[in-house]
Structure 1
Amino acid sequence: MRIVFIGQAPFGAEALNALGRHGEQIAGVITVPDSPQQRQANPVRLAAEEQGLPLLQTGRLKSPEAISWVENLAPDLLVLAFVTSFVPPEMITAARLGGINYHPSLLPKYRGGSAINWAVINGEQETGVTIHFIDEGVDTGPILLQRTVTIAPDDTVKSLYFGKLYPLGITMIGEAVRLLRSGEATATPQNESLASFQPVIRPADTIISWERSTAAIYNLIRGADPSPGATTCLNGTLLLLFDAAPATGQGLPGTVLTADDSSFTVATGDGALAIRTVRPAGAKKMAAGDYLAAGSLSIGARFTTPIIDPAGKPTC
């Protein structure tokens, strides 16, 4: 079965390498162009070159060049692993079996590009990986495979993705290709009555209102970690918060109750949260202890809620 692989990032490279180890026939690889700002070379390009595979680097899957490149390869299947742009219908129909995609949610719930973030923010206790056929919609095609994972109470987007959804996805892509190649695959249409779509998460979506419950704010911080961070204001300046944990304490919401070498505790609407990592505006992430040592925060200081400016960005 001739496969055209489309992907990017380390996940895409690992998926491509796994298909190679399984002996699948990769007719060609499409990935994004190398970025001058990247500290490391494009991992999918490196994986394709190491395997000696035909390679196309493009930022536009809809370009005539990309479509004709795939048509000339006459693939049986497109395999998508970490793809952030739409695959045009002409490219899908160029493959005998169409295309399959990795999506990190239990479709039809949490369609869209920030599925992991929103599942954590909304306090879900489980999520999973879905391998589905692609069509012209956003994560709307029939489901080929689906597996569930637990969202632990202390999971962040980072731990959930790299510890659970990433390795499971690599395994499931290989399994889905094997099922299609052997003729054992069955596809199940998605139940539209259960569908939900969440947009790509932005800083404006992660504003902290300290009057909310500890659980709600904790979920928001976990769901914005490692990016884009949960947004608050201190002394008229934006501050991003990461790496939190429920704590004991009570006070006026937003007030710093305690501080030590590793964290500071902030009052919520019904309790408190310990914050262990921050990112001041224009700076890199730093440990809460270092932020405190710099004299940037003191007990009794109060965080406030940012507002959204006309451009849709948080501001103090």
Structure 2
Amino acid sequence: MKIVLIGQSVFGAETLKRIKIQNKIIGVFAPYKNNSYLKDPIEETAEELQIKTFTFPKLRSDNAIKLFKNLNPDLCVMAYVTEIVPDEIISSPKFGTIQFHPSLLPKHRGPSSINWPIINGEKKTGISIFYPDKGLDTGPILIQKKITIDKNDSVGSLYFKKLFPLGIDAIVEAINQIKLGNPKPNLQDEKKATYEGWCKEKHTKINWESNVEIIHNLIRGSDPQPGAHTRHKTKQIFIYGSKKFIINQTKKFGSVSSIGKEGIRIACKEGEILFEKVREKNGKKISAFEWSKISNLKIGDVFLNK
């Protein structure tokens, strides 16, 4: 089967390696970079495999659409695509286009679909392979796979250890279904649909008066990006590697209860939060213990909500 792949990052690169094994990849559309010396992993991989690569500032441009149609693929695969792809491209291949999305559609449509289930305290999520249409993550679903969100999963661990490999396997499975001529897509139930936009810093400020569970979910649902943040004196800091402890709390919320090599523990409603790493605004991520020494942090110091 002749396939064009649109994608980016390591996920796109690893998808390319896998689907090339049993298919003919006739072109790869990689993200456009202003600096020609900076290449996305998918572009580097395509060049190593001697596959033609194409980059356009916008896939909606006439030149991009014309070139795609001239390739005349049987199928288009979209693996980690954040740009809007026009219907002229999506509908052009003989067997259409399939797309990877890291949630159980129709829940968590949108660009930060790994963050929000963790922040919301959900126990399950997964991946969907679907046929994109003119809407945003709204097309018929071909394959879904569920996974458990463990109590200390972060965005990083959930993606790289679970969603990433599961997603590539599902893309291969979907291609095989299409090649065999027996895909069985199901329409999304709009009554169950949810949408969230990008998870940004404005969403991830910690309120130390919140319940320990809420804070724990916020930190891990923002780790590594955009990072949950708080203030120590005049400095904004981002914290990572959260663990929660359920205890009867008598200390002031936001106060430091312990400092050690394992991290810093902060009092909050119904418990304490331990975090392992810290990054100051525009700084590098370091261990919380190292940061405590640099910042002269003391037991009883209070992290601020504002």
For the aligned pair, the TM-score class normalised by the smaller chain equals: over 0.9
CA distance in 1, matches of 2:296, 2:199: 28
Give runs of aligned pairs for residues 221-300 of structure 1, distance below 5 A: 221-247=219-245, 248=247, 250=249, 251-300=251-300
Q: Give percent identity, aligned residues only.
A: 38
Structure 1 runs (4+) deviating above 3 angstroms are: 34-38
Change (3 A) 1:261 1:249: farther
Note the residue ranges of structure 2 that are not aligned, 5 or more in a row. none
SS in 2 for 1:252: coil
CA distance in 2, matches of 1:7, 1:191: 27
Whether 1:145 and 2:143 are equivalent positions in the alignment is: yes
Aligned to 2:93, which of 89, 92, 95? 95
Letter of the 1:276 counterpart: E
CA distance in 2, matches of 1:192, 1:4: 30
CA distance in 2, matches of 1:101, 1:289: 42
CA distance in 1, matches of 2:295, 2:36: 33
CA distance in 2, matches of 1:249, 1:278: 26
- Cα deviation, residue 289, structure 1: 0.8
Query: Paired residue for 1:46?
Result: 44
CA distance in 2, matches of 1:82, 1:70: 18
Contact 1:249/1:257 (8 A) holds in 2? no
Contact 2:248/2:270 (8 A) holds in 1? no
- Cα deviation, residue 34, structure 1: 4.1
Change (3 A) 1:188 1:159: same
Indicate the RMSD between aligned Cα atoms, in angstroms.
1.5
CA distance in 2, matches of 1:202, 1:278: 18
- Cα deviation, residue 206, structure 1: 0.5
CA distance in 2, matches of 1:169, 1:286: 31
Change (3 A) 1:151 1:291: same
Query: Paired residue for 1:198?
Result: 196
Query: Structure 1-normalised TM-score?
Result: 0.92
SS in 2 for 1:3: strand
Query: Paired residue for 2:212?
Result: 214
Query: Paired residue for 1:309?
Result: none
SS in 2 for 1:303: coil
Query: Paired residue for 1:30?
Result: 29
Change (3 A) 1:37 1:298: farther
CA distance in 2, matches of 1:15, 1:294: 43
Contact 1:108/1:140 (8 A) holds in 2? yes
Letter of the 1:292 counterpart: S
Whether 1:78 and 2:72 are equivalent positions in the alignment is: no
Count matched residues.
304
Contact 1:208/1:232 (8 A) holds in 2? yes
Contact 2:260/2:289 (8 A) holds in 1? yes
Query: Per-residue displacement from partner, 1:196-243 (whole Å, max 9, x unpaired)?
Result: 001111011101111110000000000001111101111132111111
Query: Structure 2-normalised TM-score?
Result: 0.95
SS in 2 for 1:139: coil
Contact 1:111/1:138 (8 A) holds in 2? yes
CA distance in 2, matches of 1:240, 1:201: 15
Give runs of aligned pairs for residues 126-165 of structure 1, distance below 5 A: 126-165=124-163
CA distance in 2, matches of 1:183, 1:67: 27
Letter of the 2:147 counterpart: V
Letter of the 2:281 counterpart: A
CA distance in 1, matches of 2:14, 2:105: 23
CA distance in 1, matches of 2:36, 2:167: 28
- Cα deviation, residue 187, structure 1: 0.7
Query: Paired residue for 1:310?
Result: none
- 87-96 or 144-153: which moved more? 87-96
Note the residue ranges of structure 1 that are not aligned, 5 or more in a row. 307-316
- Cα deviation, residue 125, structure 1: 0.5
